[in-house]
Structure formats: structure tokens, C-alpha cells
Chain A
Amino acid sequence: MEPAGPGLRGQAPLLLLLLLQAAGPAGARAETLLDAPRARGTSSIPPSPASVVAPGTTPFEESRLPVFTLDYPHVQIPFEITLWILLASLAKIGFHLYHKLPTIVPESCLLIMVGILLGGIIFGVDEKSPPAMKTDVFFLYLLPPIVLDAGYFMPTRPFFENIGTIFCLISAVDPVAVLAVFENIHVNEQLYILVFGESLLNDAVTVVLYNLFKSFCQMKTIETVDVFAGIANFFVVGIGGVLIGIFLGFIAAFTTRFTHNIRVIEPLFVFLYSYLSYITAEMFHLSGIMAITACAMTMNKYVEENVSQKSYTTIKYFMKMLSSVSETLIFIFMGVSTVGKNHEWNWAFVCFTLAFCLIWRALGVFVLTQVINWFRTIPLTFKDQFIIAYGGLRGAICFALVFLLPSSVFPRKKLFITAAIVVIFFTVFILGITIRPLVEFLDVKRSNKKQQAVSEEIHCRFFDHVKTGIEDVCGHWGHNFWRDKFKKFDDKYLRKLLIRENQPKSSIVSLYKKLEIKHAIEMAETGMISTVPSFASLNDCREEKVRKLTPGEMDEIREILSRNLYQIRQRTLSYNRHNLTADTSERQAKEILIRRRHSLRESIRKDSSLNREHRASTSTSRYLSLPKNTKLPEKLQKKKNVSNAGGNSSDSDLEAGPRCSTCSLGPDASCQNSSRRKPPRPIKWSGRTRWTWIPGRINPAAPQLPTVKRGPPRPRVCSASPSFPKATLAPCGVTVSTKASNPSRPPGWSEGPRNLETGRVDLGARSLNGNGQSRPGGTGPAQLWRVT
């Protein structure tokens, strides 16, 4: 940062006081900007040494020991930088304090306004134009974090799926501004990817074209050779940048393979390598942005697996922080630089530029989309196109480039600056503010997860697989071909090289965790039951369930589906610049903790009410679901031994029972799951909702459940059983009439699943009636009432 206002003389202290009084509470947000005037005051102090007690003003005097000195130049640069950043962050806080404001006005607008304000004040004080941002600073320091942040969190799969489209939509768009605006409106991810990807890739185009035209202007004549050289240069720049990025990305991944002993500096590697890729690319005059993006995207996959959880969190947060800082600084700079004497106003030129830019963008998008839609299976609708065109915000990069123009070559530089600023402001402010209402108006396909029904998701995935399968059979190269090829190569070589071997204990840890989850859920479930003994409360529960699945459950389902389905199309979490959505595993971990606490409480309560034998039997039955050769963790192992010693007789029933408790097949039916782990159902299901679905609990000895017909109809799911070829499904609010109407069903094993399904639905009922009698002893619904 250049020193501000170099012109002020040494009456700094007086000026300081004056400023403090004069500036006052400038701006709308008094509380946030109160610091600002003071800050600004100090920041406009000139470099000349200013001491309150001035030992230096009279150099010929003997210098006494100063009691109190103010040595500004010493710290000037860091001081100003810190103040600016602080100011920007405070402005952000203020911005977010008004809840409505962020939804109407995008943050970038705010930041620019703050910048203008600042600039105005500096200008007013100083009568000189405020410092122009040095392009070095911008390109070397401010831009990389933003791009790194975007590239690191970019969902790679959709990016590559749409890469063709992205390449086609090239007209200079600025990633900074786009991101700033788009994050708020949650346009569907495809759109997001398109615009963002396009803006990233535009760097290659923009910078190269810029340099190209600059040199063209400087040359006397332009020959065809030069044009071709320019085009070649474009490709070299882009591809070279990408190569550098990928190369360094791999090295970074490789490095992290060995860092397990020094976890603390793991994040450092990520940032260093990324920045290195940027600078290296810049050194060769290649596209630094492409390099850093490629590096981040390459690194992401492997680093994620190698670093510890904490390092990963650190990386994420630090990256967000850096990019946030950069972004705010950039916008403030823009605002500051607006005010000043840098301008030359020429209506015609400015308006024409603005109009031309907009028209060009719109045309480009629409025309090119026509071409693209011809190739795509899912065409971009008109609304999508409109948003893309609209989202073409000019911003920081354009601005910096304009300032880069050498004045010698461009005598009308100021004109350009003015025009550029107008365009930028127009796009950021007007378009930025209006994009949200427009999106709502046009009802672009927002990425609203709730709209996609679970069954649709299943069907779509199923269909994708079918299509891929058929393509494979025909030997047709679907567009999955390259991806699968890469995946194979990746798995075979790259992963072995770049990812550390998995520690053996991790699988046991995860198994243990799963057991805990299972345990916790059951505890929570039973806990719930015991606290809700009456039908009335169950009725209430039923009321709310009549609607449908709770949104929480649906989300859970969707999440599971999206994360775990074979990845033909991978959903991604919605991208948000300023927040990090909690990882599912983090949430799960929290959930586990909550439930464990709950379960412990319950178990303590239950301890007194159930006898030991029963407990023993239950704990054994729990482990039946594990494959034989699973190594149980110590603690559980002991329990198993204890319980084995105990209720043997009572266990035999269960042991004779199904090998896997999660299969609804009888004991004789072969269960393919025997070799798999039997981890629990997803959390968040039963505890809160005491709900129907919880399938798969076998309740072998449950008597015929007359309970089913008890009380008001409850939602239930009745699964098919061996003796019943067709499943009868009873959605919410529907009674299962099958139970009561089929008394002829033989009791015993094959009954188990169905009993369980239907019976278990009225958890409350059963606790009181049907299975009530089995509770106190023996092999009742052991699995359910399990206590530790």
C-alpha cells in the first residue's frame, strides 16, 4: 500500500485533533464507523516523523530522553493495512446486523460504498487522489486467496461435466463479483458452476487478450503473424497455467502423505503450494489463476484424506478468512479509487462502453447457448441463459487491469478508467441488487432440495445406472467413459502414491463408532418410549406425521442417497462463500454424543428396573448381528463374555434366530449381508420421531400383536414376509388391517419381521401391552428394550 496523502506537512497532531472533531460519526452505521474517522485520521498522517514531544524537530538540540513518542512511519504500512482490513470487517459486521440488508444489497455493493466513503474522506482531507492500488499488490497478494478459496471448494465433478459449456461461454467475467452476488441467491448448482467456472477460466482470456492488445497498441504495425502468435499465446498461457497447477498439486498431495507426525504444519503446505503455483505461473507470464485453481482442485481430493480432521478444518477456515479479507480489500480499494482526480468524463464513451458490454454479453450468452444446447442432453433454459447473461459482472480484475494501462501508450487512460468504473459499478450495483428479485421472478430452478422427492431421486439414479449399463453393453462411450477411465487410473496408481495407508485401527474405530451409534439410537428409542407412556402423546405424534416425513428425515434420506449412491452424478452441498456448512460426519458425531449422553442417562434409570439376565441377553443379541470374525473393541468384548456366561438358555432362541438382525428374511434364508457389517440405521431417525420406518428389527418371540389394532390408527409400514407375496404398505394414517385379518399366520420366526414392522410402529403401545409381558424376562423384544 502506498502511503496516503504524502502532501501533509508536519502539523500532524493538530490535524489529528481537527479531524477527530470534524469527521465525527460519518456514515449510516455509527457504531461501526466510529473507529473509522479516528483511523482515517491517523492514516492520513504523512510520513514525516511526528512526535508529540518532538525530539526530532530541532535536530541541533540535545536530544533528551523522550517520554512518549509517536513514530508513525515506522509502522505505517502494516498499520494502515491492518486498519483497512479492520475497517472492512467492522463494516461487514454492521452490514449483517441489519438482517434485511444482506438480502437486498449484495455485500460487494456495500463494500464499494464503504470504499467510496473512505475515498471521499481522504480526498476531502487531502485534495489529492487517494492511492491507487498497486497492481502488484492486487495480483500477487489479493487475488490468489480468493481464487484459491473458490477453486478448493469447487465441486469438481459438476465442473468437469459442464466444462464444455464453460469453455463456450467466454466473455470477460469477474469471479470475485460473481461469487459475491451468486452466493446469496442459491441458484441451482449447475448455473453456479457454469458462471463460476466461466469466470475462472476467463482469466486466461482476459489477461492474455489484455496483454495482446496492449502490445498491439504499442506496435507500429500489426501483422498476421502477430495475430497467430497472440492466439497461440492464449493457449499456452491457459494450458501452461493448468499444467503447473496440476504438477504442484500432485507434489502437495505427495508431501501430505508424510506429514502424519507433524500435523501442525499441514495447512501450511496447502497454502504454500497453492501460492507457489500462482507465483510460478506468473513468473512465466502464464495464467496464475488457472494454475492456482488447478492446483487446488488436484490437491483437494488427496489432501483431504491425508491430513487430520483438525488440519482440514483449519485449512477450510483459514482459506475462507483469507479470501474474505482479500475480497473486502479489493472492493474497498475500488471504492476509494473511484473518488479522485483520476477521471475524465465523457458521456458518449462511457455510455457506449456500458451499453456495448451489456449487449455483447447478452448476445454472447444467448448465441453460444444455442450452440451448446445442441450438444447437451439437458438444455439450458431461457431462464438459465438470462441469469448467466445477467451474472456477467465486471469487477475487480477488470478494474485492476485498467489501472495497469501505461499512461504513455494510452493518453486517454483516465477515460478508460472512468468507463471501466462506470461499467463495474453498474453491473455490481444495479445488476447485483436486481438479480435477486429477478431470479425470484423468473423462478429459476433454485437448488431447493425439498422439491426433489426421494423417490424421484431414486428413480433418477436408477435410470442413470441403467443407461450407463446399456451404454456399456453397446460398447458406447458415454460421457462417463473418460471419467471411469480416470477413476481406474486414479485408484490404481495415484491413490497408492499420494495417499497414506489407512491405519488399521481406523476401521475398528469406525466399527466401534457404529456400534455406539446403534446402541445410542436404541437407547434413545427406549428412552423415548419410557417417557411417553400414554396414547395421547402418541396421537399428537401421529398428527404431525400424517403430513409426511418430517423434513429432517427427508433431508437425512436425501443426504444418504446423495452421498452414497454410486457416483454417476454427485450432488454437492451448496456453496457458500462466507460460511462453512458443517460436515455430515461432524453432525453425526455430535448426534452420537447427544445420544450417548441420553442413553447413559436412560441406562442408569433402567438399571434398577430390569434384571441382569435380561440385560445380558440383550447385549448378546446385539452382537449377533456382527459377522463372526469382527474384532470387537475391548470394552464390548468384555461385556460379551459376561453376558455369554449368563443367560445362555435365553440366548439360544435368539442365536438360533437370524444371523443378521437386519434382514427381514427368516433364519434359513441366506442373507447376503453376513459378510458385511451390520451397522445401525441412520441416526436421527427414530429417536426424535419414534417413527415407523425403523425396519429390520427382528422380534422373534413377539406374540401375535393384537396391539396393532389398538388405539387410533398409526402410521405404519408393513413389509412383505415370506408368506405374503405382496407387501402391504400403509402410509400415514392408515391402519394395517392385515394383522388383524390374518390370524392364521404361524407364529415364530417367519413372523418376526412383519410383527416387528407393524408392531414396532406403535412403540408406545407395545411398551404397554403386547410386548409388555415379554419385557421383564426372557427373550422378548430383546432387541428393543436393550439396556446396558
Chain B
Amino acid sequence: MGAAHSASEEVRELEGKTGFSSDQIEQLHRRFKQLSGDQPTIRKENFNNVPDLELNPIRSKIVRAFFDNRNLRKGSSGLADEINFEDFLTIMSYFRPIDTTMDEEQVQLCRKEKLRFLFHMYDSDSGGRITLEEYRNVVEELLSGNPHIEKESARSIADGAMMEAASVCVGQMEPDQVYEGITFDDFLKIWQGIDIETKMHVRFLNMETIALCH
């Protein structure tokens, strides 16, 4: 990373942009290097190095989320081919714990950002809405861990959930209305009862790099 001086400058810059502390940035950088094999950027294939991720049914969505331009704040759709460390940090910053010193408004903002991250994972075609097909996709992936579950059940479940979402978000609909899909606001409504801000965080200070050891 060049001279120590410029390195710490970069670190400070990153600190400012992403909100991580320098310790955390250093740890994440180490992890980044492991994943990328000492390259400056990571591609999708690099995520194959994380063996535990193989077991995750929504693996593809997670990996995709790293490259999603919307999450990287580089655009409104599409996927990047590779991401550098700063992008990596940007994605990770969605999972920062809520700072207890933040006031209510900031907490709400954080919450919204986190939920937006999740929303982007559902909305794979960047249409701004979670359509039925995308929802079905999600449910199918979730249930893909179990070979005995039928695809039809997954679809039925997705349909059910969609109906529920419709009734929650729009209430009683006119007979001629059509529900297009779950928008981000609807999404927020659905998650209203759940305190995502406390759950959606990873304790970045206690990281071990053992996962790569096998």
C-alpha cells in the first residue's frame, strides 16, 4: 500500500467515507487480500474461496449483492465486474452496528439503508419492485437446501406471501386493481415490526480468518 504515510491517509479517507474505524479497516483489508489473492480487485469467482458460503442457499444472491451497482452507489442497475477494496468496504458498511450515539433520525436512516440493501437482493432486475417472479425465485432458493421440497410448494408459498404483502401494503383492493409488486415503501412497511437495525450487523472487530483454512 505504498508508503505508510499515504496508507494512513487512505485509511482516514476510507474511514470518513464508510464509517469504519481504522482497526476495522485494517482487518477488512486483510480479509480482502485473502479473498482476492493479493489482487487489487475481487471478482465473483473469488467468492468461491469461502467454503462456508457454499452451504448457503442464497449464495448467489449474496455474491451478487457485492457487485450490484445500486449497492455500490455507482448506478441504478447492472452489475460491476469487479470491485476494489473501497467497494468492498461500502458493501460491508451496510452491516455496521448501529452506533448508540446516533439520534433517532440517523437510526432511521441507517435502517432504511440496510433495508434497501435487502431490497436490492430481492429485486434482481432493478425494476424498483419485487415482482412475483422474483419473490418466487427467492423462496425457491431459500428452500433449495432441502431436496424434498417441491418447487411447486415454493411457488405457492411465494404466492401466499405476495398476497399477504399486498393486503398489508395496499389493504383491501378494488376488484379491478392489480398489484404490481412490492415497492420499497411497501417493503419498509413489511419490515416495520422487525428491528432490523439491531439484527443486521456483524461484529467486525472480532474477525478470524480461519474460514479460509480448509
Which of A's residues lie within 8 Å of B, judged by CB? Answer: 377-378, 453-456, 458-463, 465-478, 484, 548-549, 553-554, 557, 560-561, 564-566, 662-664, 673, 676-682, 685, 692-696, 713, 717-720, 725-738
Say which residue of A471, A476, A564, A695 sits within 8 Å of B155 (CB atoms).
Answer: A695
A454 touches B131 (CB 8 A): no
B131 touches A468 (CB 8 A): no
B161 touches A454 (CB 8 A): yes
B173 touches A731 (CB 8 A): yes
A673 touches B156 (CB 8 A): no
Identify the interface centre among A475, A553, A565, A677: most chain B CB within 10 Å of its CB.
A475
By beta carbon, the residue of chain B nearest A712 is B175
B104 at the interface (CB under 8 A from A): no
- Report the minimal beta-carbon distance from A525 to chain B, rounded to whole angstroms: 13
- Report the minimal beta-carbon distance from B162 to chain A, rounded to whole angstroms: 5
0/1 interface trace, chain B 176-205, chain A, CB 8 Å (1 if under): 111111000000001101101011101110
B164 at the interface (CB under 8 A from A): yes
Q: State the main secondary structure of chain B at its contact with A.
A: helix
Identify the interface centre among A473, A678, A696, A718: most chain B CB within 10 Å of its CB.
A473
Say which residue of A461, A696, A713, A736 sits within 8 Å of B152 (CB atoms).
Answer: A696
- Report the minimal beta-carbon distance from B25 to chain A, rounded to whole angstroms: 13
In Å, the complex CA distance between A696 and B174 comes to: 26
In Å, the complex CA distance between A307 and B88 comes to: 50
Which of B's residues lie within 8 Å of A, judged by CB? Answer: 28, 31, 34-35, 47, 50, 52-53, 55-59, 61-62, 65-66, 92, 95, 118, 121-122, 125, 127, 129, 131-133, 136, 138-139, 142-143, 145-153, 155-168, 172-181, 190-191, 193-194, 196, 198-200, 202-204, 206-212
- Report the minimal beta-carbon distance from A662 to chain B, rounded to whole angstroms: 5
- Please, which residues of chain B bring their CB within 8 A of the CB of A476? 202-204, 206-208
In Å, the complex CA distance between A662 and B173 comes to: 29
B142 touches A695 (CB 8 A): no
Given contacts A462-B138, A734-B178, contact A473 B164 (CB under 8 A): no
- Report the minimal beta-carbon distance from B15 to chain A, rounded to whole angstroms: 18
- Please, which residues of chain A bring their CB within 8 A of the CB of B133? 719-720, 727
A-B pairs, 4 with minimum CB distance: A727-B132, A566-B145, A681-B152, A455-B161
Additional pairs, 17, CB under 8 Å, beyond known A694-B156, A727-B180, A731-B163: A454-B164, A458-B161, A459-B118, A463-B200, A465-B62, A472-B56, A475-B212, A564-B143, A565-B146, A664-B155, A685-B156, A693-B155, A717-B162, A720-B131, A726-B131, A730-B177, A732-B163
By beta carbon, the residue of chain B nearest A738 is B178
Given contacts A548-B167, A693-B159, A731-B166, contact A463 B58 (CB under 8 A): no
A549 touches B160 (CB 8 A): yes
B132 touches A557 (CB 8 A): no
A472 touches B142 (CB 8 A): no
- Please, which residues of chain A bring their CB within 8 A of the CB of B35? 473
By beta carbon, the residue of chain A nearest B57 is A566
- Please, which residues of chain A bring their CB within 8 A of the CB of B149? 560, 564
Q: State the main secondary structure of chain A at its contact with B.
A: loop
Say which residue of A468, A469, A663, A736 sits within 8 Å of B151 (CB atoms).
Answer: A663
In the complex, 15 of the A-B residue pairs with CB atoms within 8 angstroms, ordered by the A residue number, are A454-B160, A462-B58, A470-B95, A473-B35, A474-B204, A557-B157, A561-B143, A676-B147, A679-B150, A717-B132, A726-B131, A729-B131, A731-B179, A735-B176, A737-B178
B180 touches A729 (CB 8 A): yes
A564 touches B146 (CB 8 A): yes
In Å, the complex CA distance between A735 and B179 comes to: 11
- Report the minimal beta-carbon distance from B57 to chain A, rounded to whole angstroms: 5
- Please, which residues of chain A bring their CB within 8 A of the CB of B152? 662, 680-682, 694-696
A454 touches B157 (CB 8 A): yes
A727 touches B56 (CB 8 A): no
- Report the minimal beta-carbon distance from A311 to chain B, rounded to whole angstroms: 23
Given contacts A475-B212, A564-B149, A662-B151, contact A727 B159 (CB under 8 A): no
- Report the minimal beta-carbon distance from A435 to chain B, rounded to whole angstroms: 27
B145 touches A565 (CB 8 A): yes
By beta carbon, the residue of chain B nearest A560 is B153
A733 touches B162 (CB 8 A): no
- Please, which residues of chain B bring their CB within 8 A of the CB of A460? 194
By beta carbon, the residue of chain A nearest B195 is A378
B155 touches A696 (CB 8 A): yes
- Please, which residues of chain A bring their CB within 8 A of the CB of B200? 463, 467
B58 touches A565 (CB 8 A): no
Identify the interface centre among B59, B155, B173, B174: most chain A CB within 10 Å of its CB.
B155
In Å, the complex CA distance between A330 and B74 comes to: 70
By beta carbon, the residue of chain B nearest A469 is B62
B142 touches A377 (CB 8 A): no
B56 touches A469 (CB 8 A): yes
Given contacts A454-B164, A680-B150, A727-B131, contact A475 B53 (CB under 8 A): no
A729 touches B179 (CB 8 A): yes
By beta carbon, the residue of chain A nearest B173 is A734
- Please, which residues of chain A bring their CB within 8 A of the CB of B131? 720, 725-727, 729
Identify the interface centre among B129, B164, B174, B191: most chain A CB within 10 Å of its CB.
B164
In Å, the complex CA distance between A557 and B160 comes to: 8
A725 touches B164 (CB 8 A): no
Given contacts A679-B150, A733-B173, contact A472 B211 (CB under 8 A): yes
- Please, which residues of chain A bring their CB within 8 A of the CB of B156? 557, 681-682, 685, 693-695
Given contacts A476-B208, A566-B57, contact A455 B150 (CB under 8 A): no
By beta carbon, the residue of chain B nearest A471 is B202
By beta carbon, the residue of chain A nearest B49 is A473
In Å, the complex CA distance between A197 and B172 comes to: 45
Say which residue of B118, B153, B166 sits within 8 Å of A466 (CB atoms).
Answer: B118
- Please, which residues of chain B bring their CB within 8 A of the CB of A692? 159
- Report the minimal beta-carbon distance from A513 to chain B, rounded to whole angstroms: 11
